[in-house]
A and B are shown apart, each in its own frame.
Chain A
């Protein structure tokens, strides 16, 4: 005795297949939706900034007058801050990764550090801002200077740099270090001369991507307290400063008062996106050019 009626099954099949095809289109549309929004976003920003990005805008000082305002101060602030973030996260990130991967005994302490790192990666960036405000700005009495902002952002991206560096170390095949040990090299000699050089491209790629995350971060800086108007250019890491994302923030919220500020914000966004594009291209270049295949 048959339970399934073959004719009915065949009859229903056309509907089922049609449903599959319709939903397939819907799924494709959902995938493309994000890209459409991305295109609109970039189009809008470009249109808003046309005519506003000129020599004066790029090199000029900050000003409340939209026609005269420039972003050199913010650009320098961002670059100075990266001069803090880059060495701090590279040294701490790679050091921590080497410790966890090559020195730490697999045990409770190592597990605690590892779990802690993955938890830190999920802490909202604004909470790091509060930490920076409390520790660097207030307790250490640095004030809202570049160093304080840079250290805050360093703590924020440190987990990302560590995890990337750990992956890079894990990707170095064991026979390389075995060969080094086999010749009587010490552990540190092996790490310094064999493992680090092999893992460095991967570490740098991860670090640069993390750096580009830091460059766009705004929330921690708002908490630390960046003045809305700051005329002199920063000349070192102990100066007060503003940064590109902060400039975008202030100009955007004030655009309801002065409409042209929206154009300035758009122009600054272009500069920020170009900076990110350059950094990401550098990361991809390093990965493709120097990554060794074993």
Chain B
């Protein structure tokens, strides 16, 4: 009885409180309407970021092309921004970027894929649970640390074996960049391979195939789109990587294919020019944006390609 009484009392109380609350409803309904607007404004900031990037790059790049013909920029093999008669050919930078990325992918592609094969096809669950997080530590090391490592350890090591290599060269940062990208390729390729159904593996093993034959003739072809996407993302990462090449490859603007020599990448050029004395309004200053625009378009295309590949060629089992 007493308990019942009590219940009734609280019930009345709650009702009273709700009623009281409803009087303040105007305020809370304003909150209800305002919140989504504010949150939308937050969300739109990411769009503004992209628009900001594109507009700044575009306007200043157009300004640059008013001073340097677009044809000269994209076909010029001479880059002498500081000289009395400056020349702004981007090919030395493109060359440096492509060569360093190629070296990086020659390291990261095979090693990353082999690591993915081991983790996905050979390693037991226990081993994988230990190895995978350890590989991810490698991906978490700041690139500046890799730059230090390339400059103070890998370059001297290469020079002790191959004395022709210069103190700043494209080979050493290329290799170190490759090491940095290994975890990315290993992890993404492993994801692609692990998502191949076990029934495929059983089908091959049941015919007397070895694990190796199962992997190369069934699992990898089935996971190919994901593997290719991981490679494309790796290339994109290498193209955009800045500190390792800035530190270890120096700033030579020679148009050369000699990997023992210093070469400048697009990213390293941006660091050099923006960190230097290039005053706003000079042609050098605008060249910064033209190079950054080229870099931006390159990496964007790579990222779109990676997404296209992994969508378009997704296998259906």
Distance to closest chain A CB from B20 (angstroms): 15
Query: Is the Cβ of B40 less than 8 Å from the Cβ of A31?
Result: no
Question: Are A23 and B292 in contact (CB-based, < 8 A)?
Answer: no
Q: With a CB–CB cut-off of 8 A, which chain A residues contact B47?
A: 112-113, 116
Question: Quick check: A122 and B153 within 8 Å, CB to CB?
Answer: no
Given A124-B240, A216-B142, A272-B142, A23 contacting B42 (CB threshold 8 A): no
- Tell whether A218 is near chain B: CB-to-CB under 8 Å: yes
In this assembly, does B122 line the interface, its C-beta being within 8 Å of a C-beta of chain A? yes
B131-170 Cβ-contact flags toward A at 8 Å (1 or 0): 1001101101111111111011100000000000001000
Instruction: Report, as a range, how many residues of chain B touch the other chain.
Output: 35 or more
Binds B, one of A65-73, A126-134, A197-205: A126-134
Cβ of B148: which chain A residues have Cβ within 8 Å of it? Answer: 45, 248, 252, 262, 265-266, 269
Q: Is B57 an interface residue (CB 8 A)?
A: yes
**Contacting pair A28 B118 (CB below 8 A):** yes
Residues of A within 8 A of B60 (CB): 134
Mark the stretch among A93-101, A169-177, A230-238 that contacts chain B. Answer: A93-101
Chain A CB within 8 A of B17 CB: no
Please determine whether A223 and B42 come into contact, CB atoms closer than 8 angstroms: no
Alpha-carbon distance A266/B147, docked complex (angstroms): 12
- Residue from A30, A34, A95, A217 in contact with B43 in the complex, judged by beta carbons closer than 8 Å: A95
Q: Does B3 contact A (CB under 8 A)?
A: no
The answer to whether A127 touches B292, judged by C-beta atoms less than 8 angstroms apart, is yes
- Is the Cβ of A27 less than 8 Å from the Cβ of B118? yes
How many angstroms between the C-alpha atoms of A90 and B110 in the bound complex? 38
Q: Is A135 within 8 A of B50, CB to CB?
A: no
The answer to the question of B2 belonging to the interface, with a C-beta cut-off of 8 Å to chain A, is no
Which secondary structure characterizes the binding site on chain A?
helix
CB neighbors of B among A167-202 (8 A)? 186-188
CB of A219 within 8 A of CB of B243, answer yes
Segment touching B, from A12-20, A53-61, A79-87, A285-293: A12-20
Structural contact, B118 and A30, CB atoms closer than 8 A: yes
User: What is the CA–CA distance of A248 and B210 in the complex, to the nearest angstrom?
Assistant: 49
**Which residues 12-55 in A have Cβ within 8 Å of B in the complex?**
13, 16-17, 19-20, 23-24, 26-28, 30-35, 37-38, 40-41, 44-45, 48
Which residues from chain B contact A62 at a C-beta distance below 8 Å? none
Binding site for A on B (CB under 8 A): 28, 31-32, 35-36, 38-40, 42-47, 49-50, 52-53, 56-57, 60, 110-112, 114-115, 117-119, 122-123, 131, 134-135, 137-138, 140-149, 151-153, 167, 179, 182-183, 186, 208, 210-213, 233, 236, 239-243, 246-247, 267, 270-271, 274-275, 280, 288-289, 292, 295-296, 299-300, 302-304, 307
Instruction: Sample 28 A-B pairs with CB under 8 A, ordered by A number.
Output: A16-B212, A31-B118, A33-B111, A38-B138, A40-B153, A92-B42, A95-B43, A96-B39, A103-B40, A123-B240, A123-B300, A124-B242, A126-B267, A128-B53, A129-B270, A130-B289, A186-B28, A217-B142, A218-B242, A218-B243, A219-B242, A223-B270, A223-B274, A225-B274, A252-B148, A252-B152, A255-B152, A269-B148
